[in-house]
Amino acid sequence: MTTMENRPAAGGTAAGTRAAGATDIRTSEPLLRLTWTDPVTGAQGFLVVHTLASGLATGGTRMRAGCTMKEVEDLARGMAAKTATFDLPVGGAKGGIDFDPKDARAAEVLGRFCQAMRPWLDAHWVTAEDLGVPQHLIDEVFDRLGLEQSYHAAIRRAPHPERTLRRVQAGLNAPVPGGLLLGDVIGGYGVAQACLGAAGAWGWEHETTTVAIQGIGTMGGGAAFYLHEAGMPIVAVADAAGTLYRPEGLDVPALLELRDAYGEIDRSRLPEDVQQLPRDAVIATDADILVPAAISYAVTPDNVPDVAARMVVEAANSATTPEAEAMLAAREIPVIPDFVANAGAAAWAWWLLLGYVDADPATSFHRLRTEMQSKVAMLLGSWDVDGTPLRETAWQLASANREVLAESPDVSIP
C-alpha cells in the first residue's frame, strides 16, 4: 500500500519543473512524499522527490532499521543540493526502507519496494546504492523488473539506450588499482579529495596530517584507501564492533582485506599493535581530520565536546546535526558539508551518463579531483576571510547554480 503527499506544483511541463528547481533548496517543500507499506513484513518505505529537472531526479535507496520519512526528506534535499553544487541538470530525490539489511528477507523487501516505485523508477527517479543497499543488489532487483540497471530512467531517454547502457556498465565495472571497480570506489575517492583539498588550502603536509574515519564500508573504506595512498596517516577507523586505533597509522589495505560483506573487520586477524577501543571513541580521536562516514546524525551536541579534530569532513549524509555544527563553528572547527564532500559518486554517475567521462579511471579521477578540490578551497576561503560557515557558502553556491540550471534546455543523454 502506498500513500502520497504532493506540494502544489506547475505540473509535468518543462516550465513547471524549472520553476520548482529555481526555489531556494533550503526552504522549499519537496515535490512529493510517498509512504509504502510492505504487505508481507509490514516494513515501511519512503520516496521523497525534492526537485525535478527535465523530469528527472537522482538519489540512492537506503535500508536500515529505524529509517524515517524525515530522514529521507533531509537526504532528498541534500541530493538536490549536490546536483546543483556540481552543475548537474537533474533534481534530487531519495528512497529509504525501515528494515534491517542483515535480515534474510531484506532483498525481497527491496524488490517489493522497487516494484511499488516502478512508475517513478521507470521514468523519473535514477537511484543507486546507499546505506544497507549495495549497487549489485539494486541492479539485480532492476534486472528482475526488466529495467536492466538502476540508472534506467535516464538511460531510456538516450537515442540509443543499449549503447548508453554499455557505456555506463563499462564505467561502473572499470578495474582500478587495489582490485576493486571504479563504481565502487569513486565516492570514497571524492571524500579523500575533499580532505586533500582542505589540507592543501590550509598548507598541511600530507605526511603529518592525521585522519580518523567513522565507518569502513564503501564510502569510508574508499576514502581511507585513497588517503593512505596519498600519504595521510589513518590513525583510527570504526565499524559497528568498535574503533581500531594505531597512533603511527593503520595498514589500511590490510584492514580492508579483513572486512566482511557488511563492512565490519575481523578482529581475530588484527595485528597485535592495533588497539581496540569502544565504537564511539573514534569521535574523540586526536586527529587533524574527522571523517564521519557511517550513519546520519553521528555528531551531536552530546558528543561535540569530545571532538578533538581540527576539521570535520562529512562522508555520511547529514552526519552532523545543525546544533552540533554551530557548536563546532564556535570552536573554530569547520565542517565540509555532505552535499559537497560526498557528492563524488552522484556527480560521477551523471558525468558518465552525459558522456563527460568514460571507462578510463584516470579521466574520472582527474575530473573529480579538480572539481572537488576547487570547491573545498573556495568554501575554506570564505571561512578564512570572515568565518562564514562552509555549509552557508555551499548553500549559496547550490542555489545560484540551480537558478542558472533552471533556464537551461532539457537534459540530453547521449
Q: How confident is the model at residue 4 (pLDDT cuts 50, 70, 90)?
A: low
CA distances from 4 to 35, 45, 49, 100 (A): 6, 12, 11, 24
pLDDT number for residue 366 = 98
Q: Is the pLDDT of residue 22 over 50?
A: no
Average pLDDT of the chain is: 92
Closest to 113 in 3D by CA, of 89, 92, 137, 90: 137
- Mean pLDDT across 102-131: 96
Residue with grid cell 584516470, as numbered in its chain: 362
Q: Is the pLDDT of residue 17 over 60?
A: no
- Mean pLDDT across 175-187: 91
Active site residues: 94
Among 23-27, 283-287, 295-299, 315-319, the range of highest mean pLDDT? 283-287
pLDDT number for residue 6 = 59
Domain residue extents for the chain? 2-157, 180-403
d(CA 59, CA 138): 13
pLDDT number for residue 27 = 83
Q: How confident is the model at residue 406 (pLDDT cuts 50, 70, 90)?
A: confident
Q: Is the pLDDT of residue 19 over 70?
A: no
Please check whether the two domains, 2-157 and 180-403, share a CATH topology. yes
CA angle 76, 82, 87 (to 5 degrees): 130
pLDDT number for residue 24 = 77
Q: Is the pLDDT of residue 226 over 50?
A: yes
Q: How confident is the model at residue 11 (pLDDT cuts 50, 70, 90)?
A: very low
Q: Is the pLDDT of residue 274 over 60?
A: yes
365's grid cell: 579521477
d(CA 67, CA 143): 26
Higher pLDDT, 324 or 4: 324
Contact 94, 133 (CB under 8 A): no
Assigned CATH for 2-157: 3.40.50.10860
pLDDT number for residue 411 = 77
Q: Is the pLDDT of residue 259 over 50?
A: yes
- Mean pLDDT across 142-146: 94
pLDDT-wise least confident of 41-45, 215-219, 375-379: 215-219
pLDDT number for residue 23 = 56
3-state secondary structure 199-215: HHHCCCCHHHCCEEEEC
pLDDT-wise least confident of 104-108, 176-180, 208-212, 312-316: 176-180
Assigned CATH for 180-403: 3.40.50.720
